Amino acid sequence: MARNPVCPKCQSSMAEGFVIDKEHGGAGVSRWVEGPPEKGFFGNVKLRGRKPVEIATWRCTRCGFLESYAGG
């Protein structure tokens, strides 16, 4: 991702950030996992060997548009 991305909607600058996910005992950074979600016995999502990738999110400083990227 470019260091100083420009909003594709209004061409203003964007600020880097992240989306919080609630976890047991606190909060974490949202993650992307390939494939459809599979629920386990207690309603939790099973990963079955799939690797979660943290998501970086950029927000336009003018219009608020969000754009997210999963790192590699």
Please tell me the predicted confidence (pLDDT) of residue 2: 58
Domain definitions of the chain by residue range: 1-29+51-59
d(CA 2, CA 27): 27
Give, in degrees to the nearest 5, the angle at Cα 50 between 37 and 40. Answer: 40
Please tell me the predicted confidence (pLDDT) of residue 67: 95
List per-residue pLDDT tens for the chain, 72 residues long. Answer: 557 789 999 999 999 998 988 878 889 999 999 999 999 888 888 888 999 999 999 999 999 999 999 975
